[in-house]
Structure 1
């Protein structure tokens, strides 16, 4: 598989799903494990150089492996994620996931993304949505079991489309009110129940811009743990309609190839169009459109 230029895809751990019910195997991995510790805001504990703060083997004895999430294996070594707890006082720094994606080694950043998503789900899924009973986490952290009604709760991932829309000569971009000045990106939106991905593309683009999509094609995907989405990347052919925004976007407009090319080359840092950072599939979709001419 070709290496992707955006974050949270390459270097993924072997998730070794078959070990999640093998408590003896998980316990055997613990003394030599690598443990990512996250605070309540989803930031990883880091050392003075903003590298991952990884407890030494002697410190692991202070941590409870039953409370940890088993992320997977790399070279036979177990990787786990755990809420920082008392260790938060020992680490000198914190690092957010976007910064880690741009500075950490690929494998560590991808594991951080996995850890952040599942710990966020666990922190907000403490009780059963059917009966209100407290959940007990089993299967190495990947299943919430409700004792009173026996309902099982699995980590949630929300599918969303993200799409490079073109009328053949121009690319449609939008911007949200809270973004940095001059920042524009391709359009995106969540899949609704009973909807195909292609239907989502057409609906979301029309809702956000009133531009009509004629056809769309899937290209690639990216986990986006902010907090728990899967971005499904598309390109779409559309009518050359004049964009009209609703309350979802501050603005939407067509950009020509010269404007997009200048932004991709970094010629618009001080003025003009700014695109999403390279960690995001949105930037890659723009690059794919521009390269195909």
Structure 2
């Protein structure tokens, strides 16, 4: 990125910025039930010592920056509150959600990769937060993205397979997921992960869409898959419990409180609702 352009972009009167710290930013709830990021003009930002990350330009030409701090500023008014993607992601509009995802991803990477993997020296931030450069050996390091697959498996009886991870509370079910291994295609990762976690063989793996998931640095690839077998053998290491659900069984379990549905910020909810045929009943919980 050109430093002169970035300086001009920061100084432009329409440029907006917000503080990100520990995966959180200040948000405000709107009268229509949504949530918005609390932003300020860049020329009003009092945080001269903050690291500054360029996030992009919207359709109206407004540039956005995130300021990384060790803590969020005091509440700007009586209604602003700190929130992360898990709490506010499903309520933010597309622009604000994209801005917060980008900011959180950069913040996570910056905090976890401060030293050069080639020579061990401390690196410095460059390119508005998108590069860390080593002044000792000249190496440049870029934000990492870990590919992961997330999949909804259905069987010949049109039941959906949902699982509960070992660290999730009772009743918290979602789609299966896992990381792609080196040298592995994402389709093969779907087959392997389902077999490893619950002992089910799948085929007809079909790509649906992707979602950035900065917890801390994943890109989720969503799939639908068909089960060739339906006997469940959970591994007990990643998955504590797995169940097949018909649509009626899932609706009744959610409405009775026996099952917590996937969070609305996750592509898991989209996959389940593609199978279910409409939005799932009940309130959206925050994922732990």
1:23 aligns with 2:3: yes
Q: Distance in 2 between matches of 1:162 and 1:46?
A: 29
1:188 aligned residue:
177
Tell me the CA shift for residue 58 of structure 1. Answer: 4.1
2:223 aligned residue:
234
* 1:35–1:52 distance in 2 versus 1, CA, 3 Å: same
* 1:177–1:23 distance in 2 versus 1, CA, 3 Å: same
For residue 93 of structure 2, the aligned residue among 98, 105, 111 is 105
1:271 aligns with 2:257: yes
Tell me the CA shift for residue 85 of structure 1. Answer: 4.8
Tell me the CA shift for residue 71 of structure 1. Answer: 0.6
* 1:99–1:27 distance in 2 versus 1, CA, 3 Å: same
Unpaired runs of 5+ in structure 2? 279-288
The 5 A counterparts of 1:7-156 are 21-31=1-11, 32=13, 33-39=15-21, 41-46=22-27, 51-60=36-45, 62-63=47-48, 67-74=51-58, 75-85=60-70, 88-89=73-74, 91=76, 93-156=81-144
For residue 233 of structure 2, the aligned residue among 244, 250, 258 is 244
Tell me the CA shift for residue 29 of structure 1. Answer: 1.6
Unpaired runs of 5+ in structure 1? 1-20
Tell me the CA shift for residue 180 of structure 1. Answer: 3.5
Tell me the CA shift for residue 53 of structure 1. Answer: 3.0
Q: Distance in 2 between matches of 1:165 and 1:286?
A: 10
Q: Does the Cα contact within 8 Å between 2:75 and 2:81 map onto a contact in 1?
A: no
Q: Distance in 1 between matches of 2:28 and 2:258?
A: 37
Per-residue CA distance 1:238-285 (angstroms, 9 max, x = gap):
12331111111111121123223x26xxx7333333320222110111
Q: Distance in 2 between matches of 1:195 and 1:86?
A: 39
1:6 aligned residue:
none
Tell me the CA shift for residue 286 of structure 1. Answer: 1.1
Q: Distance in 2 between matches of 1:201 and 1:93?
A: 39
1:285 aligns with 2:274: no
What is the TM-score normalised by the length of structure 2?
0.84
1:223 aligned residue:
212
Tell me the CA shift for residue 87 of structure 1. Answer: 5.9
C-alpha RMSD over aligned residues = 2.3
Q: Does the Cα contact within 8 Å between 1:82 and 1:119 map onto a contact in 2?
A: no
Of 242-251 and 283-292, deviating more is: 283-292
Q: Does the Cα contact within 8 Å between 1:161 and 1:232 map onto a contact in 2?
A: yes
Tell me the CA shift for residue 64 of structure 1. Answer: 5.4
SS at match of 2:100: helix
What is the TM-score normalised by the length of structure 1?
0.83
* 1:217–1:135 distance in 2 versus 1, CA, 3 Å: same
Per-residue CA distance 1:2-49 (angstroms, 9 max, x = gap):
xxxxxxxxxxxxxxxxxxx2212211121332112112x211134697
Of 163-172 and 186-195, deviating more is: 163-172
Of 215-224 and 41-50, deviating more is: 41-50
2:284 aligned residue:
none
